[in-house]
Structure formats: C-alpha cells, structure tokens
Copies of this chain bind each other. A is one copy, B any other.
Amino acid sequence: MRFLIDCTLQYEALTETTLILNVEAQHGERQRIVREKLLIPDGVSSETHEVPETRNRYRRMILPVGAHRIRYRAEVETSPATFDVEEVLSLPVSELPFEVMPHLHPSRYCPSDRLGRFAWRQFGDIASGHEKVEAICNWIFENVDYIAGSSDSSTSAHETFTFRAGVCRDFAHLGISFARALGIPARFVSVYASDLKPQDFHAVFEAYLGGRWYIFDATRLCSIDRLIKIAVGRDAADSAFATYYGQLSGPPKSITVRHVDGDREADEDWTVDAVSLSN
C-alpha cells in the first residue's frame, strides 16, 4: 500500500532548545520510503541517527529563540505480511531470542509487575498466541473508554486500569502491560495512520509471537494493515515524536496521511489477519 504523509510542527523556542525529533517513517523490507523530505528551519543544522536494532530515526537540532516550522513529507510503501491468526503462537520464555527479553520487563508506563494477577485470571485460559493478544485488545476496547483529555503525560497503565478511560497511548500501554505480565514480549509503536479521524499521530503496540513482531490496536480506530511505523520502544517514554531540552511552546501540529492506491472500498475493509511489518 502506498501512503502520502504530510506532517507540520510549529514551535516557539523561548530559550535555545535542543530538539530531538522522531517523526521520520522507519524503512525496512516491509516499509519502503519511496521519497521523503524533512524541512527544518533555515540556518539550523541537524544530526541524524538510526538505531540499528529498532530502525528508529532521530533528528537532533538546536533551535535558537524564535518561531520555527518543521515539515516532514514522505511517500511510503508498505507490504504488511499477513498470517492466519490461528497459526501465530507464542514462544515459551525459554525459546525467546534474548534480544526481545527486555520487552518482558515493566517500564515507566507499563507496570506489568502489578497487573499479573488480573491478566492471568482474565486471559490465562486462552491459547497463548495471537488469539490471546486479541482477547487483550477486545477486553480493553470493551472496558476502557476512549476519551480525549482523560489522561496526561504522567498516566501509567496502573491508572488507566483503575480509571477505565484514556487515549491511544493509554490503550497501548495497557495492552503492553497485560502481554508482558503473561510472558509475551510487547512494545509501543508510534505510527502514521491513514484511517484516523481526526488525523494525528497514533499509538499502537506490537507483541512478539512465533518469531516476529505483530501489530495490535485496542482502540479499533484503524485497520492494522494501513499503518506506517515511526518508532518502537518500551513505551511512550521511548517513542515520543519530539523531545526537547530547553523551553518550547507548542506544537500546533497538522498531519495528513493519505492512502494513495487501492480504492475507497478497500479502505473500508478492515483486516482480520495477523499483521506484521517486521521482517
């Protein structure tokens, strides 16, 4: 599938501020950057870093005092791998690659160590695999209300679980927490999403099943085969689209993601397959 991304961020730096952006789409075998351009303010130089293990791409720059406009435009082609959900099974912890094991650990927003008793009681009897993580997503969708403004940047899955309201990042954090508590490695994924209305950055999660990372979205706001991955991390603390050190107001942001092949009908069919954008 082919997508056009157009993302504009506007900032006002009140002091000289170091900004680290993570808005460029990942590239890999299943997500190809056809062309792209990151426009940064005139006279500002930037450094680029791509993390080998995750393919996250960072752009670091020092913004002088004043108003700044940053724009990222890209054409991206994704070729999501799809699988029959019944054939996607968990690996026992004893067979997990060591590299994915840190994604079993609790993190800032995903205190999976506190949620194990519930997770086992609720999901323990379901066959461990794609089906179990889908059951997690269904439970979240049915038990947590999606309410803009109901959480903030300090909200952890512990609070979302009690308060039963949140936004996409909270839904992802709760899904990750349950998966980890059940011995399934899980990580946060920030994405561009053509289905999302109104358009904005979106957050989903991936679970490691049968040797591959699979995408899940407990919000049911998007079809999981029409996402473009930006960054993966343990939770939102690792995957912010922008981090800064200094004083920055904003950003008013405007994001447009358009699906540019396939017809309108296609857009309306949501996949029922297991979907992966990993190799």
Task: Specify how many copies of this chain sit in the oligomer.
Answer: 4
In the complex with contacts A18-B94, A93-B18, A93-B245, A113-B238 CB distance below 8 A? no
Q: Do A20 and B101 touch (CB < 8 A)?
A: yes
Which residues of B have CB within 8 Å of A165? 117
Cα of A49 to Cα of B20 in the assembled complex, Å: 32
Q: Do A49 and B108 touch (CB < 8 A)?
A: no
Q: Do B51 and A114 touch (CB < 8 A)?
A: no
Q: Give the number of chain A interface residues (Cβ < 8 Å).
A: 42
CB-defined interface of A85-118 with B at 8 Å, one 1/0 digit per residue?
0000000111000100110011110110111011
CB-defined interface of A130-166 with B at 8 Å, one 1/0 digit per residue?
0000000000000101000000011000110111110
Per DSSP, chain A at the interface is mixed
Cα of A117 to Cα of B161 in the assembled complex, Å: 11
Report 28 cross-chain contacts, Cβ distance below 8 Å, ordered by A residue.
A18-B93, A49-B98, A51-B98, A58-B98, A58-B101, A60-B94, A60-B98, A93-B245, A94-B245, A102-B233, A105-B108, A105-B237, A105-B238, A106-B108, A107-B108, A107-B234, A108-B110, A111-B154, A113-B153, A113-B154, A114-B154, A117-B164, A118-B162, A118-B164, A121-B143, A121-B164, A158-B162, A161-B162
